[in-house]
Structure 1
Amino acid sequence: MNIKQAKEEIKHTVQAYLSKDAFGEYKIPAVRQRPVLLIGPPGIGKTQIMEQIARECEIGLVAYTITHHTRQSAVGLPFIKEEQYDGKTYSVTEYTMSEIIASVYRKIEEGGRKEGILFIDEINCVSETLAPTMLQFLQCKTFGNQAVPEGWIIAAAGNPPEYNKSVRDFDMVTLDRVRCMNIEADLGVWKEYAREKRLNSAILSYLELRPKNFYRVEADVDGLQFVTARGWEDLSNLMDVYEELGIPVDEEIIHEFLRHEDVAEDVSAYFDLYKKYQDDYGIAEILEGKVKPSVYARIDQAAFDERLSVVNLLLDGVSNVFYQIQREREITDVWYDFLKEYRQKLKNSLQAKGIFETILAEKTASDEQNEKQQFVSKAQSDRARSLNEKLKECAKKIAAEETINIEETALFALAKEPFDAQCEKLQSLENQGIETLEHAFTFMEQAFSDGQEMVVFVTELTITPEIAVFLSEHRIERYETYKNQLLIGTKRAEILSEIARD
């Protein structure tokens, strides 16, 4: 199965394992809750999906890479205690609490969530001294003499032996006590994730043209060469920051992330072309409706790789505009709910003073707790912080007016002023988004008519999250026309099949 299917299956497992009966008891007792064991190549997102599942299910997560541990840290240290048996005193060996089990209890204390996932990565790559401990962990849900707390689900991950010389095979006794899922790399699923994470558009464009280079592991006379999904994401993060700092990304840097010489060389060459196309075609000008006549002449003579790269550059520009719209829309929605609560409390309270600051303090504390428990993404956390800064400025103005005891309606009007400005900003951005999309469609029609490139363009508009949300709320006639005319799934599959063959 692919990583997306594995994520859904694990979410279902979490829901089933944490389901309780009328008496508050788990419907599936802990002894029958088989640990989930993911076996798949490195770097395809096994840890990432655990973070997503914990966030979406609003439960805790403690993750460990077990190869970093010794037997003592995993099991605990031995100590001697005295016990009475038949009137005689004996010295008995006990163990301190495992560092891993202690981390679970610490997570419960910090976040207040008594249920969660204990995730152990690289579980089949442990040292010989730790191997029996891992088998005991999977079979008995314990480290040493300390059991995993009730309500915490065990998940583990490992690599197949062809990817790691340190891999140890599990015996039948262990495999009969776990739910083993074999995961394979899947570019289509990864691209969904990449769009949501807004990975660098040059990488997505390259992989559209060279899907076979998404995940490669090859051994030759020079040793092991490989490219993984993790490598693409880490390279993307570095590229984004380097671009902001004006630092070039050359082939040597690319090879540090994509450990395959031929792929790194090909990627480097493509990135240079991608930047050149952006300048030569004037992508920014196209999206403003200012297309030079020479652009159409060049695109008409261009090879398919170049034409598809231009389409992807257009999509990146459109996506950036709609991402800003989505960001401001989410801020506006949360702001609206905040003001709605403020107005309600103003009406129901005998004392208006301090209400705004109280609600803001509660919101800030809730945001910090959600961030601490990793219930929100970094983007969501950044948006919350941005709004809170705006609300703090508003709180200062309201506090100054409260000292002269102005009416509740005047206080609310004062609180609403910056919100009205936010609504105007959002409306302006939405108008800009519509214009940008119309300009993009005008170029696409004149450059490609309803050919393969238009199929790719419309399909990507449909599946890019921030654009899809906007199009579901605003009817863009040309988009609706092309969406209905073009068989998105079938034609796009044919196009990508042709690209893969090339």
Structure 2
Amino acid sequence: MNIKDAKNELLHTIQVYTRKDAHGRYLMPAVRQRPLLLIGPPGIGKTAIMEQVAKECEIGLVSYTITHHTRQSAVGLPVIVKKNFQGKEYSITEYTMSEIIASVYEKMEQTSCKEGILFIDEINCVSETLVPTMLQFLQNKTFGTHPVPEGWIIAAAGNPVEYNRSAREFDIVTLDRVKRIDIEPDLDIWKEYAYAKGLHASVISYLNLKKGHFYHIENTAAGVSFVTARGWEDLSSILFGYEELGLTPDEKLIRQYIQDDDIARDFAAYYQLYAKYRKDYPITELLAGNLSEKEFQSVCGMASSAPSDEQLSVSGLLLDGWNRYFLQFAEEDHFVIHLQETLSQAKTALLAGSSLADFAEQYRNALKIRQQNQLLDSRETDESEKTARILEKCLTEARKKRLNAPEEIIDVLREALSRSATIRKDLAQKTSHALEQGFAFAKAAFHDGPELLFLISDLSHNICAMSFIRTFGCEEYFIFSEKLQFQRERAELLQQIDSAVFNSPG
């Protein structure tokens, strides 16, 4: 399955495993909660989806790459203790708590999460001395004599043996005690992630042209050459950094991330062309509606007469320009929802007799604790900090106006929310306008060519785009979506006819 389906499978499994009865007892006994075993090529996103799942389920996550551990850190150190059996004292060996199990308890104390995921990466690449320990871990959910705490789900990941010389196959006894999920690379699913993360447009555009270069591993006489999803994402980050500093990415830089000579050379050449197209086509100004009619027609004419590979690259520029609007709106939309919830809580506190100063202080303290325990990502941190500043600004305004009645202070909060809602509304209008401008350009430049259908297809793989279009609409998108669906159905019908004719007797 692809990484998206694997993530959904993880979510569903966790929901089943953590169900409880009316008395708070887990409905599925621990012995039936099979550890999840993700098997897939390196760099495909197995670790990333564990982080996403834990966050979405609001449970803890403890991750370990087991190849970094010795038997002592996994099982614990031996200690000699005295025990009495049938009236006689004996010296026996026990083990201190496993470092890994101890980390689970520490996470529970830090976050107050009683449930979570214990994730062991590269589990089938452990040293010979740790193999029995890992098999015991998967079969009995223990490290040494210390069990994984109740409510914590075991997940592990490994690479197929063809991708890693040190990897080993599990025996049937072990496989019969795990829930195995095999994952394969899928460019379309990865593009959903890439658009949501705002990855560099040149990477997405290039892979649209060279789909076979998305994921590639090959053993050659000179060694292993490979390209992974992780490599493309890391390359995207360094490209942004180089561009912000005014540096020019070259083939030497590309090879540090794309470790296949032919693909690295090919992308380096494409990036140079892409940088040129980005200068030739003022997409940012076009989407904002800042071009004169003459300038607009000139850009359309240039794209219309361009070769097909250039037109596809320009389509990538257009998609990237749109995506900036979608991401900005999604961020503001999510913030307004968070602010509304927080101000609603403040209203409840005020009507219950609390003060806005106390509420703002409690919010700040709670934010500080969540930051210290690394429970917030960068977006959530920015969102919460912005909310805290709005609360403090409302408090300053209320004091300046000498407001004391809860209803008067609630009006101040309501005005603050209204200002943020106005910003959201303005962004929505700008995004809708950018869609109109972009489709007007695309129709004039590409006519009914495949580039338009390419635009529709990629918009359909963009989660933020589809969320916006479902909410605010986009007539051109739906028109071309119907055309795309018609062409697909027509192609399938022709293929069925050809197959029937080819296979008919005589």
Q: 2:188 touches 2:461 (CA, 8 Å); kept in 1?
A: no
What is residue 150 of structure 1 aligned with on the other side? Answer: 150
What is residue 451 of structure 1 aligned with on the other side? Answer: 449
- Which of 406, 409, 412 aligns to 2:410? It is 412
What is residue 185 of structure 2 aligned with on the other side? Answer: 185
Q: CA deviation at 1:189?
A: 1.5
> Could you tell me how far apart the structure 2 residues matched to 1:157 and 1:74 are?
17
Q: Does 1:25 align with 2:29?
A: no
Q: CA deviation at 1:370?
A: 5.5
> Could you tell me how far apart the structure 2 residues matched to 1:492 and 1:131 are?
55
Q: Does 1:324 align with 2:328?
A: yes
Q: Which amino acid aligns with 2:485?
A: L
Q: 1:455 touches 1:492 (CA, 8 Å); kept in 2?
A: no
Q: Does 1:252 align with 2:252?
A: yes
> The residue matched to 1:61 in structure 2 has which SS?
strand
What is residue 313 of structure 2 aligned with on the other side? Answer: 309
Q: Does 1:481 align with 2:485?
A: no
Q: CA deviation at 1:482?
A: 3.0
Q: 1:60 touches 1:373 (CA, 8 Å); kept in 2?
A: no
Q: 2:78 touches 2:96 (CA, 8 Å); kept in 1?
A: yes
Q: Which amino acid aligns with 2:4?
A: K
Q: CA deviation at 1:398?
A: 2.7
Q: What are the ranges of 5 or more consecutive residues in structure 1 without an aligned counterpart?
A: 495-502
Q: CA deviation at 1:14?
A: 1.3
Counterparts in 2 of 1:467 and 1:189: CA distance versus 1, 3 Å: closer
> Could you tell me how far apart the structure 2 residues matched to 1:19 and 1:293 are?
61
> Could you tell me how far apart the structure 2 residues matched to 1:55 and 1:259 are?
32
Q: 1:19 touches 1:27 (CA, 8 Å); kept in 2?
A: yes
Q: 1:43 touches 1:230 (CA, 8 Å); kept in 2?
A: yes
> Could you tell me how far apart the structure 1 residues matched to 2:417 and 2:280 are?
41
Q: 1:37 touches 1:155 (CA, 8 Å); kept in 2?
A: yes
Q: CA deviation at 1:347?
A: 4.0
> Could you tell me how far apart the structure 2 residues matched to 1:262 and 1:298 are?
31
Q: What are the ranges of 5 or more consecutive residues in structure 2 without an aligned counterpart?
A: 493-506
> Aligned-pair RMSD on alpha carbons?
2.4
Q: 1:55 touches 1:374 (CA, 8 Å); kept in 2?
A: no
Counterparts in 2 of 1:462 and 1:5: CA distance versus 1, 3 Å: closer
Q: Which amino acid aligns with 1:473?
A: T
> Could you tell me how far apart the structure 1 residues matched to 2:228 and 2:29 are?
38
Q: 1:67 touches 1:125 (CA, 8 Å); kept in 2?
A: yes
Q: Deviations over 1:277-315 (max 9, x none)?
A: 111122123223423444333322322221111111111
What is residue 500 of structure 2 aligned with on the other side? Answer: none
Q: 1:199 touches 1:237 (CA, 8 Å); kept in 2?
A: yes
What is residue 433 of structure 1 aligned with on the other side? Answer: 431
- Which of 334, 340, 349 aligns to 2:338? It is 334
Q: CA deviation at 1:102?
A: 0.1
> The residue matched to 1:486 in structure 2 has which SS?
helix
> The residue matched to 1:129 in structure 2 has which SS?
helix
Q: Structure 1 stretch 381-390 or stretch 358-367: which is displaced more?
A: 358-367
Q: 1:459 touches 1:488 (CA, 8 Å); kept in 2?
A: no
> Could you tell me how far apart the structure 2 residues matched to 1:428 and 1:330 are?
15
Q: Which amino acid aligns with 1:313?
A: L
> Could you tell me how far apart the structure 1 residues matched to 2:486 and 2:396 are?
52
> Could you tell me how far apart the structure 1 residues matched to 2:476 and 2:233 are?
34
Q: Structure 1 stretch 219-228 or stretch 390-399: which is displaced more?
A: 390-399
Q: 2:196 touches 2:327 (CA, 8 Å); kept in 1?
A: no
Q: CA deviation at 1:465?
A: 2.3
Q: CA deviation at 1:57?
A: 1.4
> Could you tell me how far apart the structure 2 residues matched to 1:11 and 1:207 are?
29
Q: 1:398 touches 1:414 (CA, 8 Å); kept in 2?
A: yes
What is residue 422 of structure 1 aligned with on the other side? Answer: 420
Q: Structure 1 stretch 244-253 or stretch 151-160: which is displaced more?
A: 244-253
Residue-pair matches, total: 488
What is residue 35 of structure 2 aligned with on the other side? Answer: 35
Counterparts in 2 of 1:93 and 1:36: CA distance versus 1, 3 Å: same
> Could you tell me how far apart the structure 1 residues matched to 2:66 and 2:274 are?
41
Q: 1:118 touches 1:155 (CA, 8 Å); kept in 2?
A: yes
Q: 1:58 touches 1:375 (CA, 8 Å); kept in 2?
A: no
Q: Which amino acid aligns with 1:336?
A: Q
> Could you tell me how far apart the structure 2 residues matched to 1:492 and 1:52 are?
39
> Could you tell me how far apart the structure 2 residues matched to 1:195 and 1:31 are?
40
Q: CA deviation at 1:93?
A: 0.5
Q: 1:117 touches 1:155 (CA, 8 Å); kept in 2?
A: yes
> Could you tell me how far apart the structure 1 residues matched to 2:324 and 2:491 are?
26
> Could you tell me how far apart the structure 1 residues matched to 2:368 and 2:470 are?
32
Q: Structure 1 stretch 41-50 or stretch 433-442: which is displaced more?
A: 433-442
Identity %: 47
Q: Which amino acid aligns with 1:358?
A: D
Q: 1:80 touches 1:91 (CA, 8 Å); kept in 2?
A: yes
Q: 1:55 touches 1:376 (CA, 8 Å); kept in 2?
A: no
Q: Which amino acid aligns with 2:459?
A: L
Q: Deviations over 1:75-134 (max 9, x none)?
A: 111111100112111111111100000001111111111111111001111111111211
> Could you tell me how far apart the structure 1 residues matched to 2:201 and 2:120 are?
33
> Could you tell me how far apart the structure 2 residues matched to 1:158 and 1:134 are?
12
